[in-house]
Homo-oligomer: A and B are copies of this chain.
Amino acid sequence: MTDADRRQNALEALRSFGIELPSWAFGNSGTRFKVFAQPGVPRDPFEKISDAAQVHRYTGAAPRVSLHIPWDLVDDFGKLAAHAADEGVRIGAINSNVFQDDDYKLGSLTHADPRVRAKAVAHHLQCLDVMRATGSQDLKIWLPDGLNYPGQDDIRGRQDRLAESLQQIYAALDPEHRIILEYKIFEPHFYTMDIPDWGTSLLHCLALGPQAMVVLDTGHHAPSTNIEFIVAQLLRVGRLGAFDFNSRFYADDDLMVGSADPFQLFRIMYEIVRADALRPDSGVNFMLDQCHNIEEKIPAQIRSVTNVQEATAKALLVDRDALHEAQRRGDVLGANAVLMDAYNTDVRPLLAELREGLGLAPDPHAAYAASGYARRIATERLGGAQAGWGA
């Protein structure tokens, strides 16, 4: 395959590559120390979706919006879905929330008290109803459960309770539904989490059945973990359900994806390309999960989408025949050089061409900035309570 062929293939693959945005990225967020408010922040799920739609408007690559329940609860989800359609996007995954109710202080699906576990299961069944009302197919479970102190609860007993709780939720899935189950090494608990690693998430998915898949959040690992290895492994066993993309230098920093280690993002996307998992029917949902604590939210989401696109474009440009041949003959430096050649390519012109082919401005950042949207929402969204992690 020639360079030109690879470039055409990349353009084609990118045309159908969509990234899902989180509704909560448009609300206020912060650290335990402070949440800084921003002008124009949405006050309800409708406004969040309008903001998310701006990202799609200028990138052409963000056609879906994840919801977070109860933050995004509305009386009429049909109306919300219609609003999304009007704005040119649709509802994606439904995220449950079992970390903001006082009952969940010591756990939810793993809690020692059966009453609390039943309540947490019921919340997930409610989320399934939201999925039915919105056409969503993915129930995303990030389990905040864990322990702060050795001895606080029984590590193994909590696994057994978790398995039982998940089974109850799984049993209520419709045939087209999936549970996508996230893992995280720490936070909000600091001795152990109940799903701290991909192995634990996968074991539960395997026990549940084919409609359960693992979610890989790029910020949820121990320092120095090789994430692309996990991507490759989960793809190999057919259980990579979704990404939560973001960046980290230290912990679950939730910075813009690609901002901390763009080379890592490229390597991750290369494993996706290598497994032919970029195509829309691969079963991998490419989602963002980020907090824009100090930067403007809509531009930050645009930047995140373009960062993923750039990493993906580079991954698509890898000369895989040359790579394979160098690997086959044990040419360490040669194989590495093939990969680096693609990484070192400036793909911004390619992406500009992609956008122009879609009838979009070549520079989505400039186009959004010129649109006046930021000023308009800052002016119009007065009164009401800004959305945040509590709503």
Binding site for B on A (CB under 8 A): 29-34, 36-37, 99-100, 102, 105-106, 112-113, 144, 148-156, 159-160, 185-188, 190-192, 196-200, 202-203, 221-226, 228-230, 232-233, 235-237, 248-251, 253, 255-256, 259-264, 267, 271, 274-275, 293-296, 299-300, 303, 310, 323-324, 326-328, 330, 332-333, 335-340, 343-346, 348, 365, 389
Question: A190 to B112, Cβ gap below 8 A?
Answer: no
Q: Residue of B at shortest CB range from A31?
A: B188
Decide: A33 near B99, CB < 8 A? Known: A226-B191, A249-B224, A335-B151: yes
Q: Contact check: which of B261, B275, B323 meets A151 at CB < 8 Å?
A: B323
Decide: A261 near B263, CB < 8 A? Known: A199-B202, A226-B249: yes
**Stoichiometry, copies per complex:** 4
Question: B303 to A337, Cβ gap below 8 A?
Answer: yes
Decide: A156 near B105, CB < 8 A? Known: A150-B336, A249-B191: no
Residues of chain B within 8 A (CB-CB) of A271 are 155-156
Can you identify 26 A-B contacts, CB atoms within 8 angstroms?
Answer: A30-B32, A31-B188, A32-B188, A34-B188, A36-B105, A112-B330, A149-B259, A150-B336, A150-B339, A151-B336, A155-B232, A185-B225, A186-B249, A187-B250, A188-B293, A190-B250, A190-B253, A203-B233, A222-B225, A250-B251, A260-B263, A261-B261, A263-B263, A296-B332, A296-B333, A344-B346
CB distance from A220 to the nearest CB of B (A): 11
Q: Contact check: which of B33, B150, B274, B335 meets A153 at CB < 8 Å?
A: B335
Could you list 18 further interchain pairs (A-B, Cβ under 8 angstroms) beyond the known A155-B229, A187-B251? A37-B102, A148-B253, A149-B295, A149-B333, A151-B327, A152-B327, A152-B332, A155-B271, A156-B232, A156-B235, A159-B232, A191-B226, A197-B199, A199-B202, A203-B233, A224-B249, A250-B251, A310-B344
- Measured between alpha carbons, how far is A333 from B296 in the docked complex, in Å? 8
Question: A226 to B192, Cβ gap below 8 A?
Answer: yes
Question: B275 to A156, Cβ gap below 8 A?
Answer: yes
Question: B236 to A156, Cβ gap below 8 A?
Answer: yes
CB distance from A165 to the nearest CB of B (A): 16
CB distance from A307 to the nearest CB of B (A): 9
Residues of chain B within 8 A (CB-CB) of A99 are 33-34
- Measured between alpha carbons, how far is A152 from B330 in the docked complex, in Å? 8
CB distance from A143 to the nearest CB of B (A): 12
Question: B149 to A332, Cβ gap below 8 A?
Answer: yes
**Residue with the greatest number of chain B CB neighbours at <10 A, chosen from A100, A197, A345:** A197
- Measured between alpha carbons, how far is A196 from B229 in the docked complex, in Å? 9
- Measured between alpha carbons, how far is A185 from B330 in the docked complex, in Å? 23
Residues of chain B within 8 A (CB-CB) of A264 are 261
Question: B102 to A36, Cβ gap below 8 A?
Answer: yes
- Measured between alpha carbons, how far is A102 from B200 in the docked complex, in Å? 37
6 closest A-B pairs by beta carbon, nearest first, are A199-B199, A151-B339, A222-B222, A190-B253, A223-B223, A346-B346
Question: A148 to B255, Cβ gap below 8 A?
Answer: yes
Residues of chain B within 8 A (CB-CB) of A186 are 224, 249-251, 253
Q: Residue of B at shortest CB range from A32?
A: B32
Q: Contact check: which of B188, B275, B337 meets A365 at CB < 8 Å?
A: B337
Residues of chain B within 8 A (CB-CB) of A262 are 263, 343
Residues of chain B within 8 A (CB-CB) of A338 are 151
